[in-house]
């Protein structure tokens, strides 16, 4: 029973990875609605695995690394490929450049999450939110032309690698569970992929705007991280040691 309890969060992480792989295959074959569905499902799974690990007391370094590997596939590679395959009318340099920029930024974002501790916030937009937004930009029911889509994708990419502090869900007010319950009501009333996409876009956009607006207030209230020149990247020193709970939050 203990072995099953410890393995269960990793099993959910594997679901995130599986959804990412399914989204890649769907994007490759031109089934963009399903690619979007799989990426949004991966977003839900990614939120569950950390909460499950904490609840069961099953956090581990291995789970943390596995979660990051799943994230770069589901929220890095899959949304980037979806963007490339949707906007085939765009110049190749634009769509491939945006896709590559997004994947590289996602990898950097995940590496910084592990290397540079932050106090009570995410340093930059979590890759889970960034990947979902990228997928919605590419395959959402918004009819974006490729120049506007590219501009929004690059903005999302910059938000992932910048130093803007985004609040963690656990510290948000009002309670995110209540917000999610209200947001799910339109999906119950009009169950379609278009409704899901619109609701997800509104939730993600609200989170991004909230994070940007809260920057000044968080800088005043929360001691962020040490300046980068105070951190010895090669030796891994420059911060007080903190305990981490692996896989506990979106990256």
**Residue-number span of the structural domain to which 129 is assigned:** 2-224
Within a domain: residue 231?
A: no
Sign of CA dihedral 219, 220, 221, 224: positive
Within a domain: residue 176?
A: yes
Within a domain: residue 162?
A: yes
pLDDT tens digit sequence for 164-217: 888 776 555 555 545 555 556 665 556 677 888 888 888 888 888 877 777 656
Residue 232: band (very low, low, confident or very high) from pLDDT cuts 50, 70, 90: very low
pLDDT tens digit sequence for 7-17: 777 888 899 99
Q: Is 210 helix (H, G, I), strand (E, B) or coil?
A: helix
CB atoms within 10 A of CB 206: 12
Bridge partner residues of 232 (DSSP):
237
Higher pLDDT, 113 or 26: 26
Bridge partner residues of 166 (DSSP):
122
Q: Using CA atoms, how far apart are residues 21 and 27, in angstroms rounded to an integer?
A: 10
Bridge partner residues of 167 (DSSP):
121
Question: How many domains does the chain divide into?
Answer: 1
Expressed in angstroms, the distance from the first to the final Cα of the chain is 29
Mean pLDDT (the chain) is 78
Asked if 138 and 86 touch (Cβ cutoff 8 Å), the reply is yes
pLDDT tens digit sequence for 171-184: 555 555 455 555 56
Model pLDDT, residue 133: 94
Residue 236: band (very low, low, confident or very high) from pLDDT cuts 50, 70, 90: very low
Within a domain: residue 233?
A: no
Query: CATH code at 9?
Result: 1.20.120.1760
pLDDT tens digit sequence for 38-71: 999 999 888 887 777 667 766 677 778 888 999 9
Model pLDDT, residue 5: 63
Determine what percent of the chain is predicted with pLDDT higher than 70: 69
Model pLDDT, residue 8: 77
Model pLDDT, residue 197: 85
Alpha helix positions (H), the chain:
2-28, 32-56, 61-72, 78-86, 92-115, 127-139, 146-161, 176-189, 193-213, 215-221
Residue 238: band (very low, low, confident or very high) from pLDDT cuts 50, 70, 90: very low
**Residues whose CB is less than 8 angstroms from the CB of residue 202 and which lie 6 or more positions away in sequence, other chains included:** 183
CB atoms within 10 A of CB 192: 10
Within a domain: residue 113?
A: yes
């Amino acid at each position: 029973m203990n072995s099953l309890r410890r393995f269960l969060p990793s099993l959910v992480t594997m679901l995130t990875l599986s959804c990412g792989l399914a989204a890649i295959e769907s994007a490759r074959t031109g089934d963009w609605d399903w690619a979007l569905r799989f990426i949004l499902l991966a977003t839900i799974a990614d939120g569950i695995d950390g909460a499950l690990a904490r609840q069961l007391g099953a956090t581990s370094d291995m789970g943390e690394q596995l979660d990051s590997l799943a994230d770069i596939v589901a929220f890095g590679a899959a949304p980037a490929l979806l963007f490339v395959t949707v906007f085939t009318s765009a110049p190749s340099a634009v769509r491939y450049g945006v896709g590559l920029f997004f994947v590289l930024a996602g990898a950097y974002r995940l590496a910084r999450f592990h290397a540079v501790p932050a106090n009570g916030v995410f340093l930059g937009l979590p890759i889970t939110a960034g990947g979902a937004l990228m997928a919605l930009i590419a395959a959402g029911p918004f009819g974006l032309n490729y120049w506007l889509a590219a501009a929004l994708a690059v903005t999302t990419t910059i938000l992932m690698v910048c130093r803007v502090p985004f609040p963690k869900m656990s510290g948000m007010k009002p309670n995110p569970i209540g917000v999610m319950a209200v947001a799910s009501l339109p999906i119950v009333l009009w169950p379609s992929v278009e409704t899901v996409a619109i609701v997800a876009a509104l939730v993600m956009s609200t989170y991004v705007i909230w994070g940007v607006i809260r920057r000044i207030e968080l800088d005043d209230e929360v001691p962020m991280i040490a300046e980068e020149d105070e951190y010895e990247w090669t030796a891994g020193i420059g911060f007080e040691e903190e305990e981490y709970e692996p896989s506990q939050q979106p990256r």
